[in-house]
Amino acid sequence: MSNIWFTSDTHFNHNRVQQFCPDSRFQGSLEEHDELMIYNWNQCVQRGDRIYHLGDFSFGSVEYTDSVLRRLNGEIHLIYGNHDEVLRTSKFGKYFSSRQDYKEIRIEGQKVVMFHFPIHEWHQCHRGAFHLFGHVHATYGSVRGRSLNVGIDNRPGADMSPWSWEEVKALLDTKEIITHH
């Protein structure tokens, strides 16, 4: 079985993201920052692996974004963020196995709900469904219940790497299931 990964808010070529997130981002040149994210991604994600990117992929031009996507390993599924308008164009369809605003999947029988934004309640949260999100950078790690911010800014040790399914499952299995009403 291939490995499954999650990430969000890479903000490739965003010239102010290091300023906005000084404690969770590499503080070198923007080029070094982006190269480190590409390297970390490819160290984790192998060619046959699946990776779910939960939005805000790139602030770069069409050409720059294309050059980054060509270098990334894995079968990429994109859940659009508020800064992904350029990725909605057909030019980028070849890089993604799926593109949508919201996605629900099952992994090893576990329901996983993905959306760029943190939400207070999600489909089947009362039955233990996981909610993965981004958008808030390192502001907070979860909303409540079995939710997790999978943004690269929220990684332990600020290592700017994707989250593995095993990490996500281990963290969320310990959280309390939201009770209904």
Q: Are strands 130-133 and 110-115 parallel, antiparallel or unpaired?
A: parallel
In the block, residue with structure tokens 């959306």: 115
Q: How confident is the model at residue 2 (pLDDT cuts 50, 70, 90)?
A: low
Q: Tell me which DSSP letter residue 4 carries.
A: E
**What pLDDT, on a 0 to 100 scale, did the predictor assign at position 14?**
86
Report domain extents, the chain: 4-172
Q: How confident is the model at residue 1 (pLDDT cuts 50, 70, 90)?
A: very low
d(CA 121, CA 127): 11
CATH topology of domain 4-172: Purple Acid Phosphatase; chain A, domain 2 (3.60.21)
Residue 140 one-letter amino acid:
Y
| The two three-digit tokens of residue 161, written as one number | 């790497």
**What pLDDT, on a 0 to 100 scale, did the predictor assign at position 181?**
66
Summarize pLDDT for 121-136 with one digit per residue, the tens: 999 999 999 999 999 9
Model confidence, pTM? 0.94
User: Between the CA of residue 42 and those of 5, 37, 80, 84, 119, what are the distances in Å?
Assistant: 11, 9, 21, 22, 30
